[in-house]
Amino acid sequence: MKSILWTLVIIAMSTMNPLAQAVRAAERAQVPEKYKWNTTDLYPDEAAWKKAKDDIAARIPALAAFQGKLGASADAFHSALSFLMALDLDLTRLGTYASMRSDEDTRVSGPREMKSITEDLGVKFAAAVSFLRPEILALGEAKVKGFIKTDQRLEPYAPWLDDILRYAPHTMSAPEEKVSAEAAIMAEGASNAYNTFTNADLPYPEVTLKSAEKVRLDASAYTKYRAAADRDDRLLVFKTFWSRYKEFERTLGATLDANVKTHIFNKNVRKFGSCLEAALFNSNVPTTVYTQLIKDVHANLPTLHRYLKLRQKMMGVDQLRYEDLYAPIVKKVELNYTPEQAMDLVEKAVAPLGPAYTADLKKSYESRWVDFMPTQGKRSGAYSTGVFGVHPYQLQNFTGLYEEVSTLAHESGHSIHTYLSDKNQPYPTHDYKIFVAEVASTLNENLLLHHMLKQTKDKDTRLFLLGSYLDGLRTTLFRQTLFAEFELKIHEMAEKGEPLVGEKLTELYRGLVKEYYGDAAGVCKVDDLYGVEWAYIPHFYYNFYVYQYATSITASAQIAANIRGDKTAKSRDGYLKMLSSGSSKYPLDLLKDAGVDMLGSGPFNAAIKEMNATMDEMEKLLAQK
């Protein structure tokens, strides 16, 4: 279940691709059907969607009939929960269809209106069920478990109910819960203001490159041209882009401050000890996992600095600078694929996960669960979503690059995770937490890399693959943890009553970047201006989300290593069990089933071991060349 406070649709880790945006020449009607997802599996047409919408709108008020009666009997309890779950499922299906249709062509107003309708219904649904949690808690653990023992129909709800009972110290009265649910509509205000300003209103500057090309430096152009081959161009791009953000440091500080205040409000009304504890409570992850990640990264900054020195050597520069971090360190090799070749490559790469996994993946490709091609107006990036009882879907923007084959492997990991959980779990426990979601995706990327290395002898291609992997570890393991540490520190400041003004945020972020990248030791020089980079990161509005990118890649590194080294298939089967378990257990327990203990440093050490092994091989290849 997406959660009792219904969310429109889970969009897994989104991969932005400026090149895909640049090549969107075709209209959707020109794309062959085999490359489009089949939304008729959700609804035959929009008329059917509208009929379902009217039915859902009529059923939401009926939830009130259950208020105050949950404890009457086990049968009454089951009737309420089954009605609730059925409505939640139908609402999720409604929202997923609307979101997908809107993403096909964001220029079209009809699907955007459908999204708005479902969001409004979601708020009404959340308010209508706000009585549920406090009423279940009022029944008490003994009575709830007695109902489960009396009526077998309630057994599938047991983990979900245990999770609610866990919230007892943080749940208010029914009227207070209703006010909180209705107040949630204001929680996105700061994020919406930030996104509107940075996407639509921020006056992005224009630069003229050495080639005489004039470029408007919006976010997509910055992502593209910060990797320019010419160092002077990179310097110009960085200085110009961050100077413009510096002009709006105060405004963007105000929006981030407002967003953090919503987390302070939630911490206070829910009686949590800290914003971090409140954010991690939903996944039942102790705060020590978060703080241990930061400690592990600081202890292993020498490994990051080894990578930076290798980058400096390969780029042939006397002093590595922050402006050099996105430039290619190896020759770009020509690796281009058709969608069919990409699908075949991913299928072969995941073979270590067994024939059943591969068959499910093949089925997803053949049954049009994937929307491949970039077209005019299509949402950028990539994601996986799904609806219980139907199947997962993927959005891609495939232009044939190897990076997009990796994206296909990534999102396919999410999709098969969803498929296996839906197949093996009842609706109350079919969904899974983000903490384990990114394990499934990054493990597939790891398998793809090792598959490619096995079949690639060309030194330039191997250097390209290994270099790309190192860049990914730098940005996922170290950069995301830097973000996580910044996020923790700004919340700690706010909890002490310190205002989060833009200038102070820049000072804090600048200090972290200089420490991580070894500025004082001359490893990588960071211009003071780049301290304003915090203002560019939308994830700071996600409430302690980014640390999970780092923990996931450490967990998947250990699982992948275990699978490769295990001849008995025990590690593989433990991992597949995790993928099939939904939320029947808490994330840390699910990962234990897969052979990973996230309370220690073992997974992190596995990722660092692979990072050092990658650098070892690159250094050998460079010596041979």
Give residues with Cβ within 8 angstroms of 142, minimum separation 6. Answer: none
Q: DSSP assignment, residue 522? A: T
The SS3 of residue 133 is helix
Match 């994206």 to its residue by tokens: 407
Phi first, then psi: what are they for 394, rounded to 5°? -130, 140
* Bridge partner list, 594: none
Catalytic residue among 104, 177, 404, 411: 411
The number of C-alpha atoms within 13 Å of 145 and in the hemisphere containing its C-beta is 7
CA-to-CA dists, residue 266 to 102, 108, 181, 492, angstroms: 32, 36, 11, 14
What sign does the CA torsion over 397, 398, 399, 404 have?
positive
- Measured in degrees and rounded to the nearest 5, phi and psi for residue 206 equal -115, 140
Could you give the CA distance from residue 264 to residue 257 in angstroms, rounded to a whole number? 10
Contact call for residues 95 and 8 (beta carbons, < 8 A): yes
Q: Provide the angle, in degrees to the nearest 10, between the axes of the packed helices 547-565 and 287-299.
A: 80
Give the N- to C-terminal CA distance of the chain in Å, as an integer.
54
* Residues across the chain: 625
Phi–psi pair at 456, nearest 5 degrees = -115, 120
Joined tokens for residue 64: 């009130």
CB atoms within 10 A of CB 595: 20
* Burial environment of residue 598 by CB neighbours within 10 A (0 to 12, 13 to 18, 19 or more): buried
- Backbone angles phi and psi of 336, in degrees to 5: -130, 140
With 0-12 CB in 10 A as exposed, 13-18 as middle and 19+ as buried, what is 45? exposed
Widest CA span of the chain, in angstroms?
A: 78
CA distances from 622 to 325, 329, 469, 523, 567 (A): 19, 12, 16, 21, 33
8 A C-beta contact, residue 484 and residue 294: yes
Quote the tokens at residue 472. 């990914």
Helix axis angle for 74-104 and 46-59, nearest 10°, is 150
Q: Please say if 411 is a catalytic residue.
A: yes
Spatial CA neighbour of 289 closest among 588, 593, 22, 553: 588
Q: Are 97 and 39 in contact (CB under 8 A)?
A: yes
**Catalytic amino acids?**
411
